[in-house]
Amino acid sequence: MTFIDETGVGVALAVIHRELHTSRAGTHWVMNAYMLTLAALVAAGGRLSDLYGRRRTFAAGLTVFGLGSLLCATAPGLTWLITWRAVQGCGAALLIPTALAIVSQTFPPAERGRAVGAYIGAASVFYVIGPVLTGALVDQISWRAVFWINVPIACAVGVIVAAVIPRDIRSPRRERLDLPGLATSAAGLAALVIALMQGPSWGWSSLPTVLLYVAAVVLSAAFTLTELRRPAPLFNLAILRDTVFAGAVAMVFLVYVVYLGLIVFAPLFLQHEAGLRPLMAGLALAVALGPIIAVAPLTGRVVDRAGPRRPALITGLTAIAAFSWLAIAAPARSLPWTVPALLLYGISVPAVYNCAVTAAQNRVTDEQRGQASGIITSAAQTGATIGVAVIGAVVAPVSDSADYTTTGFQAGFTTCAGFSALLALLALALPRTPSP
């Protein structure tokens, strides 16, 4: 569900933008309300799975996500839609790290690359289905159907969870969730994202924007001090002292910056500039996401045998080529010129992600697995949130305007190419050899 929603809503944004008569900033908030709450709470989701059990946490997330989807489908206007998207993000924050923790805990290090690859590959099937299904629903019914469809899926998954996932074993020692750490991290991230997204309309040097940046810095410092003093912190900062783990987490962050740059702004470009219908835009996006199904498990096997550095470097360089191609081809406003770049993306960025996640998971113990998954997923969703905000500001530098421009999209794709270059540099810090 979360995978379908993540890629599918991007295809619906152009229609939501038109039918609800929103500004470009308002359109971007439909995506980023979800991403912001997901990023702010996903580490807590990983921690809750450690404290209260994988099955219980997964079931709670499923309930919240399904309810949020129902409310989105019936939202009377933009403000309510953004609000209920935030509720969806809360549910996803419980679902995503718990699922990864279940997979990672089940397999030993020597097989974890293939397991993570299979997990990513299975998820990728739904990533690919997402834009095509959404495009068809928007074309034939309404953008609201994109959210309605999650409700029966949530019910079906709930039945499967009850039948398949073992009951949680009650832990004799129950720690508390780090609420001060959660509050300072969530507030700091929210301040930064609001400043980035509203800066174009408020003015980058306006008092509200500057105050939000100051608040983000102060809250981030407070979060760090809080975590260093807590006996059971939300983030175990000792894990981040491992340079390989920290570098891999930074790569995951950047992967999701460019990932959201593609799934949000490529469909908008294809519909606004190339004149495609939502279904055709969804099919074009599926070209970028389709290769993940084969690339993810293949990369997992390569990482298990040869280590993560070389494949991450090669695919990072390929990602630079993909976004550079998109930027160069943008003035043509042509689907045939765009498709090869989307295909290059599909064989590169997912492979980098697999390399980074496997390298990070191989640096922690089983007891740290849930928290490490929370950190990894938090980095991913924070990258996604920052990606929408930063690239959105580049694509639409005057947010109160209702119109997109080819020049704006070209600048956005160029920015993604720059982030991909940082990815390739960070790949050099990954281990040369596979884990034992």
The secondary structure of 147-170 as a DSSP string is: HHTHHHHHHHHHHHHHHHSPPPPP
Q: Are residues 100 and 195 in the same domain?
A: no
Determine the pLDDT at residue 171: 57
| Both structure tokens of 126 | 């739904």
Confidence of residue 174 (pLDDT cuts 50, 70, 90): low
Determine the pLDDT at residue 84: 94
Of the three residues 233, 250, 271, the one that is the final residue of a domain is 233
3-state class (DSSP) for residue 143:
coil
Q: Are residues 244 and 299 in the same domain?
A: yes
pLDDT, mean of residues 123-147: 84
Q: Is the pLDDT of residue 252 over 70?
A: yes
60 in a structural domain? yes
Q: Please give the full DSSP string across 81-114, using - where no structure is assigned.
A: HHHHHHHHHHHHHHHHHHHHHHHHHHS-HHHHHH
pLDDT by residue (tens digit) across 403-414? 677 888 888 999
Q: Are residues 324 and 397 in the same domain?
A: yes
Determine the pLDDT at residue 66: 92
Q: Please give the full DSSP string across 401-424, using - where no structure is assigned.
A: -----HHHHHHHHHHHHHHHHHHH
- H or E element, residue 391: helix 369-395
Whether 293 and 126 have beta carbons less than 8 Å apart is answered as: no
Closest CA to 307 of 359, 265, 269: 359
Give CA–CA dist 176/51, Å, rounded.
8
Which CATH number covers residue 302?
A: 1.20.1250.20
Buried b / exposed e over 106-138, threshold 16 CB at 10 Å, is: ebeeeebbbbbbbbbbebbebbbbbbbbbbbbb
Q: Are residues 300 and 413 in the same domain?
A: yes
Q: Are residues 190 and 303 in the same domain?
A: no
Give CA–CA dist 354/357, Å, rounded.
5
367 in a structural domain? yes
Q: Are residues 303 and 214 in the same domain?
A: no
Helix, strand, coil shares of the chain as percentages rounded to 5? 80, 0, 20
Of the three residues 212, 233, 254, the one that is the final residue of a domain is 233
Closest CA to 427 of 334, 350, 294, 313: 313
Q: How many Cα atoms are found within 13 Å in the side-chain-facing hemisphere of 387? A: 29
Determine the pLDDT at residue 399: 47
Q: Are residues 210 and 262 in the same domain?
A: no
46 in a structural domain? yes
Q: Is the pLDDT of residue 7 over 80?
A: no
Domains contained in the chain, number: 2
432 in a structural domain? no
Give CA–CA dist 280/332, Å, rounded.
18
Q: Are residues 84 and 228 in the same domain?
A: no
Q: Are residues 162 and 311 in the same domain?
A: yes
392 in a structural domain? yes
pLDDT by residue (tens digit) across 347-365? 888 788 888 888 887 877 7
Closest CA to 98 of 327, 299, 374, 291: 374
173 in a structural domain? no
Distances in Å between the Cα of 272 and the Cα atoms of 275, 334, 375, 393 are: 6, 12, 36, 17
Q: Is the pLDDT of residue 213 over 60?
A: yes
Q: Is the pLDDT of residue 346 over 50?
A: yes
171 in a structural domain? no
pLDDT by residue (tens digit) across 370-405? 677 768 877 887 898 888 888 888 887 654 555 677
Q: Are residues 32 and 49 in the same domain?
A: yes
Of the three residues 211, 233, 255, the one that is the final residue of a domain is 233
Q: Are residues 95 and 225 in the same domain?
A: no
CA 53 to chain centre: 24
The domain of 411 spans 2-166+234-427
Q: Which residue has the higher pLDDT, 263 or 252?
A: 252
Q: Are residues 42 and 69 in the same domain?
A: yes
Q: Is the pLDDT of residue 167 over 90?
A: no
51 in a structural domain? yes
| Both structure tokens of 419 | 């982030």
What percentage of the chain reaches a pLDDT higher than 70?
91
Closest CA to 231 of 185, 188, 182, 176: 176
Determine the pLDDT at residue 414: 93
